[in-house]
A and B are shown apart, each in its own frame.
Chain A
Amino acid sequence: MVLRTNIDAKILIQLLYQMKRIRAVEETIAERYNEWKMRCPTHLCTGQEAVSAGVCAVLRKDDFVVSTHRAHGHYLAKGGDLKRMIAEIYGKAAGCSSGKGGSMHLIDKSVGFMGSTSIVGGTIPVGTGLGFSILLNGTDQISCVFFGDGATEEGVFYESINFAILKKLPVLYICENNLYSVYSPLCVRQPAERSISKMVSSLGIASDSGDGNDATEVYTKVINAVEHIRQGKGPFLLEFATYRWREHCGPNFDNDIGYRTEEEYLCWKKKDPIMLLENEMKNRDVFNPGEVQRVDSLIESEVHEAFSFAESSPFPSQDEAFIQLFKE
Chain B
Amino acid sequence: MRTTRYGAGFLALALALTACGGAGESDGGGQQAADSAVGVTKDTVVIGTHQPLTGPAAPGYSKISVGARAVYQAINDGGGINGRKIEYKVEDDGYNPTKTVEVVKKLVLQDKVFAIVGGLGTPTHSKVVDYLNSEGVPDLLVSSGALAWDNPQKDPMTFGYQVDYTREGKIQGQYVKDTFAGKKIGYFTQNDDVGRDTQAGLDRFVKDQVVVRQGYDSANTDVTPQLSALKAAGAEVVVCACIPAFTALSILAAAKIGYKPQFVVSSIGADPATLSGLLQDFAKRGGASVSSGQLLAGLIGTGYLPDVAQIADPWVAYFKGIHDKYIAKEPFTNTVLFGMVQAYTFGQALKAAGPEPTRQKVVDAMSSGALKGPGLTPFGFSKDSHAGYTGAYVFKINPDTTTTVIQPPAVTDRGTGAITPYSGERATPEQVNLVSK
Partners in one complex: no
